[in-house]
Amino acid sequence: MELFTLGIAELNSMLERREISARDICGSVYKRIEAVEGSIRAYVTATPEKALEMAEQADKDIAAGSKKSLSGIPIAIKDNMCTKGILTTCASKILSNFIPPYESTVTSRLLENGYVLSGKTNMDEFAMGSSTENSGFHTTRNPWDIGRIPGGSSGGSAAAVAADECIAALGSDTGGSIRQPASFCGVVGLKPTYGRVSRYGLVAFASSLDQIGPITKNVTDSAILLNIISGRDTQDSTSAPVEVPDFTSVLGREIKGLRIGIPGEYFTEGIDAEVEQAVRNAIRQFESLGAIPVEISLPHSGYAVAAYYILATSEASSNLARYDGVKYGIRAEGKDLLEMYMKSRAQGFGAEVKRRIMLGTYTLSSGYYEAYYRKAQQVRTLIKNDFENAFRNVDLIVTPTSPTAAFRTGEKTDDPLQMYLADIFTISVNLAGVPGISVPCGFTSGSLPIGLQLIGKHFDEASLLQAAYAYEQSTEWHKRKPAL
């Protein structure tokens, strides 16, 4: 058995028993990266020397009897989280030379727990996309079929976990960017409640929607990582002063009597028949474990995509105004300051980022703010109310993560609207700020993974993880690996 195939919990046990060293794990993962990265292209920046240095430090800690919860565990970081002294590009040419002078809060917490950085993963530029085809550098491929996309925007992180090019990864989720690629790559992806995890050091796309979360090989590992990255941070005013429970303590508890909501709006035209069948089978599996299915309605779901693409692009327009070629990032030459601004942004940003900046600038412009931005905020409130009403009668909500399995590379690049609709089942969760998790629930006839989405109440990730673990342990889907 190769060490790179294992999860955090299994490797932790082996390290505690001194059966292996952190250096052994690091060597195994980098051997795997060398073998498959040419096909998958999950990374923007690999960090082999840094990883070895961190692994050797972990071995010293273990030898001194001070093993930490992530000592020696190689974890990949999406390339929109600042890592001090290590290139952080957001997969954009405009930041192709940016080396942060500080560490994000989440990576600081991983460092405190002894992790090993395997590298920075590819993504859609500035997290704007659903396929990782919008990267300014290269397209990441799906380990289950390299002719297909891995999802986005955290496609590099999900592909790296699925291909065993790391033990776990962090991604960010603005409209489904952890859950959708996790679904497409057959791994577990958790978007915590907005405010559960600090965004300090996360390069902002849409500040009221962005949230960092784990992408892992199993539910246990997601609970372990969530324990570490959660909690109040004084450097992020939106991080919530809410107690962080031990998320691993609920794993293994039975779910008999758990009421799971089935929203009719998520089982409509447009959903692939094999995806619907797999999710229906998963609901029956929950019933066999003692859960009680309840038909519910989320009546404003149909407006989520429209509202999201007004709010997210408006916030992007504001957040990305800072990339002007002055203080950091690439700078183009111009005859005056205005021309330098224009050339730097024109050369540095890709087509999708430009599209979203223009959309957002338009919706925020004089005469249109009330008609678009304000109206979208009102719709957002209605969507949030839908979830609150539903959670008066149910404990969790179960839906497909995506209406389809992974699509072919290039299939939707010429039709932005079709690409945007790939996130139709995940966007509402971000608008409402509630937590969601995607777990594998089956495969298509073409051997492509299918994801099941569980949605929970605000700050009730524990119930999500409890139910996801019960389902995972009663099925075999999470054990299948792509043949690379």
Count of alpha carbons within 13 Å of 466, Cβ hemisphere only? 21
32 domain-assigned: yes
| Long-range contacts, stretch 479-484, CB < 8 angstroms, 24+ apart | 480/186, 480/440, 480/443, 481/5, 481/164, 482/143, 482/144, 482/162, 482/163, 482/186, 484/35, 484/36, 484/39, 484/40, 484/143, 484/163
pLDDT at 239 over 90: yes
CB atoms within 10 A of CB 91: 32
How far is the C-alpha of 93 from the C-alpha of 329, rounded, in Å? 8
Name which of 178, 60, 149 is nearest 426 in CA terms.
Answer: 178
In a domain? residue 294: no
Domain boundary among 350, 377, 404: 377
Q: Encoding tokens for residue 156?
A: 């590099």
The most distant pair of C-alpha atoms in the chain lies apart, rounded to whole Å, by 71
For residues 134 and 136, give the distance between their C-alpha atoms in angstroms, rounded to a whole number. Answer: 6
Active-site residue flag, 153: yes
177 is catalytic: yes
Instruction: State whether 17 and 116 are in the same domain.
Output: yes
Given 346, 377, 408, the domain boundary residue is 377
Domain assignment present for 8: yes
Decide if 284 is inside a domain: no
Cis upstream peptide for 153 (omega within 30°): yes
- CATH number of the CATH domain containing 415: 3.90.1300.10
Catalytic residue among 67, 68, 78, 412: 78
Query: 246 and 329 share a domain?
Result: no
Catalytic annotation, pick one of 28, 177, 301, 317: 177
Using a pLDDT cut of 70, give the percent of the chain over it.
100
Task: Supply the angle between the helices 304-319 and 375-390 in degrees, to the nearest 10.
Answer: 120
User: Does 415 score more than 90 pLDDT?
Assistant: no
For residue 78, is it within any domain? yes
The pair of three-digit structure tokens given for residue 110, joined into one six-digit string: 């991983």
Domain housing 324: 302-377
Are residue 317 and residue 243 in the same domain, yes or no? no
Same domain as 86, residue 42? yes
Q: Based on the domain organization, do 31 and 117 belong to the same domain? A: yes
pLDDT for res 366: 83
pLDDT band of residue 270 (cuts 50, 70, 90) is: confident
198 and 57 together in one domain: yes
Q: Nearest 5 degrees, angle CA 140-CA 146-CA 151?
A: 45
* Same domain as 315, residue 232: no
Number of domains in the chain: 2
Mean pLDDT score, 138-142:
98
Is 278 contained in some domain?
no
Residues 182 and 309 reside in one and the same domain: no
Residue 269 pLDDT: 79
Total residues belonging to the chain: 484
pLDDT digits (tens, 9 = 90+) for 442-454: 999 999 999 999 9
Q: Is residue 389 part of a domain?
A: no
441 shares a domain with 404: yes
Q: Is 183 a catalytic residue?
A: no
Closest to 209 measured CA to CA, from 188, 195, 223: 195
Whether the pLDDT of residue 369 is over 90: the answer is no
The pLDDT of residue 374 is above 90: yes
What's the 3-state SS for the chain? CCHHHCCHHHHHHHHHCCCCCHHHHHHHHHHHHHHHHHHHCCEEEECHHHHHHHHHHHHHHHHCCCCCCCCCCEEEEECCECECCECCCCCCHHHCCCCCCCCCHHHHHHHHCCCEEEEEECCCHHHCCCCCCCCCCCCCCECCECCECCCCCCHHHHHHHHCCCCCEEEEEECCCCCHHHHHHHCCEEEECCCCCECCCCECCCCCCCCEEEEEECCHHHHHHHHHHHECCCCCCCCCCCCCCCCHHHHCCCCCCCCEEEEEHHHCCCCCCHHHHHHHHHHHHHHHHCCCEEEEECCCCHHHHHHHHHHHHHHHHHHHHHHCCCCCCCCCCCCCCHHHHHHHHHHHHCCHHHHHHHHHHHHHHCCCCCHHHHHHHHHHHHHHHHHHHHHCCCCCEEEEECCCCCCCECCCCCCCHHHHHHHHCCCHHHHHHCCCEEEEEEEECCCCCEEEEEEECCCCCHHHHHHHHHHHHHCCCHHHCCCCC
> Among 345, 377, 409, where does a domain finish?
377
Instruction: Assess whether pLDDT exceeds 90 at residue 479.
Output: yes
Q: Are residues 11 and 84 in the same domain?
A: yes
Same domain, 202 and 319: no
Q: Answer yes or no: is 208 within a domain.
A: yes
Examine the pLDDT at 245 and tell me if it is beyond 90: yes
Q: What's the pLDDT tens digit per position in 388-407? A: 999 999 999 999 999 999 99
Angle, CA of 475, 196 and 426, to the nearest 5°: 55
Specify whether 81 is located in the same domain as 202. Answer: yes
Mean pLDDT of the chain: 96
The string of pLDDT tens digits covering residues 309-338 is: 999 999 999 999 999 999 899 999 999 999
The owner of tokens 């066999």 is: 288
pLDDT of residue 421: 82
